Chains A and B, each alone.
Chain A
Amino acid sequence: MHLPFAALEVGQQLYWQLGNLRLHGQVFLSSWVVIGALLALVVVGTRSLERDPRGVQNLLEFIWVYIRDLAREQIGEKVYRDWLPFIGTLFLFIFVSNWGGALIPWKLIHLPHGELGAPTADINTTIALALLVSLSYFYAGLSRKGFRYFEYYVEPTPIMLPFKIIEDFTKPLSLSFRLFGNILADELVVGVLAFLVPLIVPLPAMFLGLFTSAIQALIFATLAANYIGEAVHEEHH
């Protein structure tokens, strides 16, 4: 029996050779689609700004307010404005990637190897995003507090030092694995169900997948904001 829509190709990549680097081409292609969609949405929404927002502008303002509340709650009133674009970009890129991977019928486009899907279902994408978060919370702490940032490692007691250092490694690890695992698991569950029963039955799993992918985008952005907020937090003596 041949089921073209249900074939699973985990671990198969469309390799592009760039010098001595091997790139996962399908991830780049789907990321470009996601970036293009986001850019198009923003350009269309901000082209003719009106005092009373309507249509796309209204949607964009709603998203902006949502992300601003998230960042302000986690980072704090004083500094959140600097980090709002970063948090917003993370949230929107991950959200649109996750939903794009589930909603766009990628299977209609045939690749020689691998298959198109959510860019966040590739471990390289999520590790890159998580390392960006690591770099930015170090930068946030160091630029705001200078070397006093390292006081955070010995507070409340110096006994905490090894744990706080280990935390710097586990933060990007858990950020990237959580996102990657959730999205890949959604795709696999839907794929396996579609392989067993192609009609109707995978639909509830698809809706659950949409729900968890939205939650994962929210969690990634919340945690990134939380780490930055922890780094810039001032103790009141």
Chain B
Amino acid sequence: MDSLTSAASVVAAGLAVGLGSIGPGIGQGNAASGAVEGIARQPEAEGKIRGTLLLSLAFMEALTIYGLVVALVLLFANPFA
């Protein structure tokens, strides 16, 4: 791998994870705040709210994970190397 490709790959890997975590971060914050509000209003529904929250958090986390997969491909299995 020549040095330009490796430098570009490392920068791109950082950007993929960094930019990819902005949106899901905001989304997870929104979801958690909604869930806390729901539990405060209706403490008896806590179990159900927690289950739904965990499931939807995992969906949002998946978006960051796609960025991570791209970063891992660039670092360990770079097709342009």
Interface residues of A (CB under 8 A from B): 10-11, 174, 177-178, 180-182, 184-185, 188, 212, 215-216, 218-219, 222
Contacts and interface: CB of A to CB of B under 8 A. Distances in A.
Contacts of B62: 174, 177-178, 181-182
A177 B65 contact: yes
A69 to B, nearest CB: 11
Given A215-B54, A219-B55, A219-B58, A182 B72 contact: no
Interface of B: 54-55, 58-59, 61-62, 65-66, 68-69, 72, 76-77
Nearest to A180: B69
B65 A182 contact: yes
Contact of B69 (A177, A215, A219): A177
B68 A181 contact: yes
Contacts of B76: 10-11
Contacts of B68: 181, 185
Nearest to B54: A215
Contacts of A184: 72
A215 B50 CA distance: 12
A222 B55 contact: yes
A11 B79 CA distance: 13
Contacts of B59: 219
Shortest beta-carbon contacts, A-B, top 9 = A181-B65, A178-B62, A11-B76, A10-B76, A181-B69, A219-B58, A181-B68, A215-B58, A177-B69
B47 to A, nearest CB: 13
A10 B55 CA distance: 29
